[in-house]
Chain A
């Protein structure tokens, strides 16, 4: 990874058609930019999906990215959302090792982060945490010392605050 690390968020509304994800991802790849996270899911309109893409690109290039994305025929809207007030969330599932000795400790950490325990065995505990990516990062780093067996993160999803559309 390059010295300078940037994370720019682009929110993209696309028609739910075959190959759209490849087109969007390919367009980014062709510009030699790393995709930090990409989440896709349906919107209020089943024919339309929203992609939230976090890319490693300097802020001055983000708008030019959004412009290129808008050129894709299936892209209905592409916004570089940095700079506008937004709500950003990510969900992570984390499976950590537990022993009778560490179980309570981990539950306490989970409590602070408002994480849910979604599965428990005598040797593992699975936790679900939601929040801004930094919060998830912090939670993960606290759990590291217990031994994270597996983890899955959704990548960031974002909406603009207030009545205005993202």
Chain B
């Protein structure tokens, strides 16, 4: 115990000595080429083109915050919980295509980032997280606010590093950004002990990158591509199964060109929404657990499947052995480890989706698939997405449908996790890439609203909207103050069913309706929004929906929380129950 107290005092003493290398000393130090580690960090960030970073300060990151105090061209957005910083960095990255940056202090600050970093890992979002660490002499001693952050984040980062010398910071940062955005993108964490941030050094800022163990393959093998084209040309029931990799690679135009040249239908994953204009006649919308019946039927019956930038996630395939049982698989991915991971690929192609699809689109021959299209169109007509409108209850799907129509599918939409997420996926028809931002792989409640903030900072000139559930919104709602503080024009639509809707749905279907811990008592979200300085609108009746949505979409310079009381009993269909196959799909009859 005595030991512990001494450690704390030790840390406190160091904190008070932090201003030593403060602003007064800096201009000269910089001219002399000398600066402290924190200043080197900020300079390195500037050189990476960072304009915005999301973060929350603390003891171990005080030197970094001191350097940020007079950083030119870098805006620090103070969030009220570090999880929000990480989700916002992801929203920023996925909306803008640039690397998102978040920062937190040691210990609890860093552990609060963990959910957001994991989300970035699962959804291959390029973010860099910068964390403060306790000073070098006390690392490993259970110092105050110490956590083994590089240890904790090892499985959830593409790479992480603990920087032990100030002079190494520029290279660590340069590598972090390079790793985050190249190959299969992902999160990279840089952990910097406080005394390293304070240490004076004469850093060099490298332009080159030398990472011998990291060489993403970008050009697909011509032989494999030729085999793929041959398989597609001879196919009778081909389909393209396209995912988030298309968006990361910026391959939407190439995908569309290939589809148009061959008339092969395209089904999108949740992460792939926006990879192709969903109103395009060749696009079959989303497939998978809550995907369209016709996309699922089509992939199930396909004889050749061109899978691009996808990972055969269980939410798409259901029971693996029954997934597309008659198909030959062509699998294109930049990450060799994805190929054959869940389903053996008959024709594997390691490469960048854009480059590979460009070659394919230029060389493809169209198969004879009139009969196939006739079949698909029959399914399309027979099983459209649909919903009931009741006189006394607001339909979730109607709200989603209306948002699609009012924005023309061109707004950037973020969602939280649950039923509303799937309804938005079904009803919001993305017209372009980077317009549908959702926690796909991790399914992290609390993601939607912070991601929208990040997206708005990344794309201030675009319309950004958040659609969230009442459960998930409560997980990160405190940051309404951040959105209000920055005057973000950001409508937040709360599909409020007074329930953890998706949990309630599973309990209804699979647990005999025993609604264990899934019914919520909620605050008045509109008034809560107002308390934070946002505009608040409450919608209780169907006829109020459209005026409220319009009013929210037109609100400028302030976030607008629209609390929409929706049908508390609606279930999200169609649904292929977890671990089952298309034969067990629950239809909406």
Contact = CB atoms under 8 A, between A and B. Distances in A.
Interface centre among B155, B213, B335, B337 (most CB of A within 10 A): B213
A64 B340 contact: yes
B239 interface: no
B179 interface: yes
Given A15-B213, A19-B150, A23-B154, A73 B159 contact: yes
B211 A73 contact: yes
A68 B154 CA distance: 14
Interface string B139-164: 00000000000110011001100100
A63 B340 CA distance: 10
Given A64-B340, A67-B336, A72 B213 contact: yes
Interface centre among A14, A63, A74 (most CB of B within 10 A): A74
Contact of A74 (B150, B213, B341): B213
A68 B155 CA distance: 12
Given A74-B213, A76-B212, A22 B154 contact: yes
Contacts of B155: 26-27, 30
A163 to B, nearest CB: 23
Nearest to A74: B213
A11 B250 CA distance: 36
Contacts of B213: 14-15, 72-76
A75 B158 CA distance: 13
B214 interface: yes
A36 interface: no
Given A22-B154, A23-B154, A67 B214 contact: no
B214 A73 contact: yes
Contacts of A18: 162
B151 A64 contact: no
A64 to B, nearest CB: 6
Interface string A49-66: 000000000000001100
A71 interface: yes
Interface in B15-51: none
Contacts of B151: 22
Contacts of A71: 335, 337
A18 B162 CA distance: 10
Contacts of A23: 154
Contact of B179 (A26, A64, A68, A73): A73
Interface residues of B, number: 17
Interface in B288-342: 335-337, 340-341
A68 B340 CA distance: 12
B337 A67 contact: yes
A70 interface: yes
Interface string B334-355: 0111001100000000000000
B121 to A, nearest CB: 12
Contact of A68 (B158, B214, B337): B337
A50 to B, nearest CB: 14
Interface in A119-158: none
Nearest to A64: B341
Nearest to A72: B213
Nearest to B336: A67
A19 B336 CA distance: 24
Nearest to A26: B154
Interface in A16-32: 18-19, 22-23, 26-27, 30
B336 A70 contact: yes
Nearest to A14: B213
Interface in B202-256: 211-214
Interface string A67-90: 110111111100000000000000
Contacts of A64: 337, 340-341
A72 B154 CA distance: 10
Contacts of A74: 213
B81 to A, nearest CB: 28
Interface centre among A63, A72, A73, A74 (most CB of B within 10 A): A73
Contacts of A75: 213
A76 B154 CA distance: 18
A97 B577 CA distance: 62
B365 to A, nearest CB: 32
A88 B431 CA distance: 58
B160 to A, nearest CB: 9
A14 B211 CA distance: 12
B153 to A, nearest CB: 11
B342 to A, nearest CB: 10
Contacts of A67: 336-337
A67 B336 CA distance: 7
A22 B154 CA distance: 9
A21 B303 CA distance: 44
B334 to A, nearest CB: 11
Contact of B212 (A15, A26, A72): A15
Contacts of B150: 19
Contacts of A26: 154-155
Contacts of B162: 18
A64 B337 CA distance: 6
A32 to B, nearest CB: 13
B361 to A, nearest CB: 28
A160 B2 CA distance: 56
A116 to B, nearest CB: 38
A15 B330 CA distance: 34
A1 B155 CA distance: 25
Contacts of A70: 336-337
A24 to B, nearest CB: 11
A15 B159 CA distance: 14
Interface centre among A27, A71, A76 (most CB of B within 10 A): A71
30 contacts: A14-B213, A18-B162, A19-B150, A19-B154, A22-B151, A22-B154, A23-B154, A26-B154, A26-B155, A27-B155, A30-B155, A63-B340, A64-B337, A64-B340, A64-B341, A67-B336, A67-B337, A68-B337, A70-B336, A70-B337, A71-B335, A71-B337, A72-B213, A73-B158, A73-B159, A73-B214, A74-B213, A75-B213, A76-B212, A76-B213
**What are the nearest 8 A-B pairs in CB distance?**
A67-B337, A76-B213, A73-B159, A68-B337, A73-B214, A75-B213, A67-B336, A74-B213
Given A15-B213, A30-B155, A70-B337, 4 more contacts: A18-B162, A22-B151, A26-B154, A67-B336
